[in-house]
Each structure stands twice: as C-alpha cells, then as structure tokens.
C-alpha cells in the first residue's frame, strides 16, 4: 500500500522538469519530490508513475518509494513565482511524492562512458520500458539516477520519472497491445541488454493478481471521469487487461536491435551534419554545449 503523508514544509520547485515538481518535507520526517495533480501533464502522468513505478519495484528493479502526499498550498505561500503558486492552488489535496535521493547524479552520456551496467540489468530495464511503452528513457534523457554517490556502498542505477509511459491510456481502444516500438536509442542500448533472459525471468511475474494489486494503489479521483468508462474500477480493469495481454505477447514486441556506441556516435554525427547544413551561417557559429567533458558537467539532481 502507498503510505499517506502530509507535507509540512515546502522546500523548492524543481524547474528541470516540465511538470515543475516540488521538494517537500513531510510529517513522517521524509523528504519527497512531489508531482502535482494540477500540472500540465495532468493526472494520467501520476497514474503512469504509480503503475510503472510499483511494477518496477515488484519486478526487483530499484525505484524510490512512492507516497500519497496531502498538500496544502498555504505551506508554499512564500513561493515567489506566480505560475508555481497557481500550480499549487490547483493541486490542493492528494498528490504523488517520490522519495528524494540526496546527491544523486543524472545518468548522462558522460556518466554512461565510465559507469558499468550488467547486460542483464540493462535487459530488465529495457524489458520494463518496452512492456509499459515508456519511450522516454533515451541516451539524451535517461530518466535514470546513479545513487548513492558517497559511502561504502557502490552506486547503483535507480529508475525515475515514468509519467510519459502507458501511452495507450491517452487513446483507449486504438492501440494494439502487441505493437513493437523503436528502442534502438534506449539509454542502456549500448550495454548489450540481455532482453531475452530478462523476458524469460520477468514475464511470468506479471500476473493478473499483481496488476490488480498495483492498479488498486491508484486513487479513485485520478481515474474518475475517464471518457468511455463508468467507474474507476472499469479503468483499472482496462489497465490490467492491456498490460497482461502485452506481457503474454512479448515475443511480438521484444526489442533486440541496439546500435553500438560507435554506431550511435556515427549516427549522431550524421544528424549533426544535416542540422548544420540547414542552419544560417550565424547559427553555425554557436558552440556545442552538449559535448563538454564529464568534469565540466553539472551533476544537478533531476527528478522531474
């Protein structure tokens, strides 16, 4: 069960994410990144966060704890930006919190060059993303964190940010649950993901019972008024049916074609050359800010 907590102190907004989540302290002494129901992405992004995040945890992947955060906008009255205050006002009530990972680092392409990832672990993450149609974990935006960065324990990969997954719930009834998607540019593709072993290991674990338990964690209010459904229970059933059918048909969508680092570099170089050819001369002189050495990177936390 997702725990209920109450936000008692608003710390800061995270502007690196389009949904402008906020860091809060709660009455359980925990610190959480809160995604708000009033954000532009809407409640379906929170539904996806719960379903995919809890499924990841059930399958043995590392994912921060999720909690239901009761949020009173009054605790953030000191927020200086009007648009953020309006977001808070629109989000009074129950929102979604993710446990804060202090000093975690983004899994950037520069980190990926020196951070070892086991092919089976990579395969498990790719398999989860393919199952849940999460095409938002690419080499350019990994939605992965490396944590901890200090202490005796070696750093591990942690999954975050699944609000863009479950794309089928934006157009119920029109998406084939056996459809294959392009995962060639997955953030872990060049680690040689062992997706076949991951499929044999994880597919049997995605049962109707598990999916029912996970979808039951989603608050009714986030499922209400869904076009084409009369009750939140019917919406939950639709999630269960789609994901169960997709898991059972993994042979049709299992991604296995991943370019090597060298092939990715060559492809990026070709893309950059095409982009440069279409630019005016003055824009061609703008320096490339994405190719800085790892030592010059900003290791800021990105949980939004």
pLDDT in 10s for each residue of the chain, 304 residues: 899 999 999 999 997 667 899 999 999 999 999 999 999 999 999 999 999 999 999 999 999 999 999 999 999 999 999 999 999 999 999 999 999 999 999 999 899 889 999 999 999 999 999 999 999 999 889 999 999 976 668 899 999 999 999 999 999 999 999 999 999 999 999 999 999 999 999 999 999 999 999 999 999 999 999 999 999 999 999 999 999 999 999 999 999 989 877 887 787 788 778 877 766 765 555 554 444 433 333 333 333 3
Contact 122, 194 (CB under 8 A): yes
Q: Would you state the structure tokens that stand for residue 251, as one six-digit string?
A: 């042979």
Q: Give the chain's radius of gyration (CA, Å).
A: 20
What pLDDT score does 296 carry?
Answer: 34
Instruction: Return left, alpha or beta for 173; rule: phi > 0 is left, psi -120 to 50 is alpha, else beta.
Output: left
């Amino acid at each position: 069960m997702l725990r209920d907590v109450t936000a008692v102190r608003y710390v800061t907004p995270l502007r690196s994410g389009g949904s402008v989540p906020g860091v809060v302290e709660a009455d359980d002494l925990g610190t959480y990144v809160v995604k708000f129901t009033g954000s532009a992405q809407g409640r379906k992004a929170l539904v996806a966060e719960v379903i995919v995040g809890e499924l990841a945890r059930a399958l043995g992947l590392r994912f921060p704890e999720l909690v239901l955060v009761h949020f009173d906008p009054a605790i953030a009255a000191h927020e200086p930006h009007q648009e953020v205050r309006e977001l808070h006002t629109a989000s009074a009530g129950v929102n979604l919190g993710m446990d804060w990972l202090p000093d975690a680092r983004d899994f950037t392409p520069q980190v990926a060059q020196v951070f070892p990832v086991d092919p089976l672990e990579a395969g498990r993450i790719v398999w989860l993303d393919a199952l849940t149609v999460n095409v938002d974990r690419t080499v350019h935006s990994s939605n992965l964190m490396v944590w901890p960065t200090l202490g005796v324990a070696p750093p591990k990969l942690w999954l975050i940010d699944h609000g863009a997954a479950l794309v089928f719930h934006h157009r119920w009834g029109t998406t084939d649950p056996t459809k294959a998607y392009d995962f060639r540019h997955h953030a872990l593709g060049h680690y040689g993901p062992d997706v076949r072993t991951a499929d044999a290991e994880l597919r049997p674990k995605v049962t109707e019972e598990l999916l029912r338990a996970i979808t039951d964690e989603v608050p009714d209010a986030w499922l209400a008024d869904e076009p084409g459904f009369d009750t939140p229970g019917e919406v939950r059933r639709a999630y269960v049916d789609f994901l169960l059918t997709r898991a059972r048909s993994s042979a049709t969508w299992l991604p296995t074609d991943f370019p090597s680092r060298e092939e990715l570099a060559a492809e990026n170089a070709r893309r950059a050359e095409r982009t440069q050819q279409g630019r005016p001369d003055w824009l061609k002189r703008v320096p490339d800010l994405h190719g800085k050495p790892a030592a010059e990177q900003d290791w800021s936390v990105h949980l939004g």
